[in-house]
Amino acid sequence: LAGSENGDVIHQLEHRISRLEGVLRLNKMITESGGKIFATSGKTADFDGTVENCKEAGGSIATPRNPGENDAILYFVKYFNTYAYLGIKQSLIPGKFQLPNGAQLSYTNWYSNEPSGRGEE
């Protein structure tokens, strides 16, 4: 009986999560790529505020690691007609960028002559 009850609870939770994800997708607040969920509040914030909001939600600021993840972030940029902060920072070498932990980027998709650090990368 306990196993059956656990199965019922799991099924109910899966159903609830599915419904909540549906509402968020409908409101253009989440998208997915490669099993990762990308989300936004749709509100304007500065970089530090964005990092903090992501942490509070149990995630981290988006860092595109492949074209699919880049497209997931671009989805929000286009929908909200704004920019997006990324989990990338300028290194000690001007014009070179890295992950916040100092690791080298394994994926980039910069425009020509970018990154310049002027917000049009």
Q: What is the pTM of this model?
A: 0.78
Q: What is the pLDDT of residues 2-54, one digit of tens each?
A: 667 888 899 999 988 888 887 777 778 889 999 899 999 888 899 999 999 89
Cα 91 to Cα 31, 86, 88, 111, 115, distances in angstroms: 30, 14, 9, 19, 12
Span 56-63, average pLDDT: 91
Complete domains list, the chain, with CATH: 1-98 (3.10.100.10)
- pLDDT tops 80 at residue 115: no
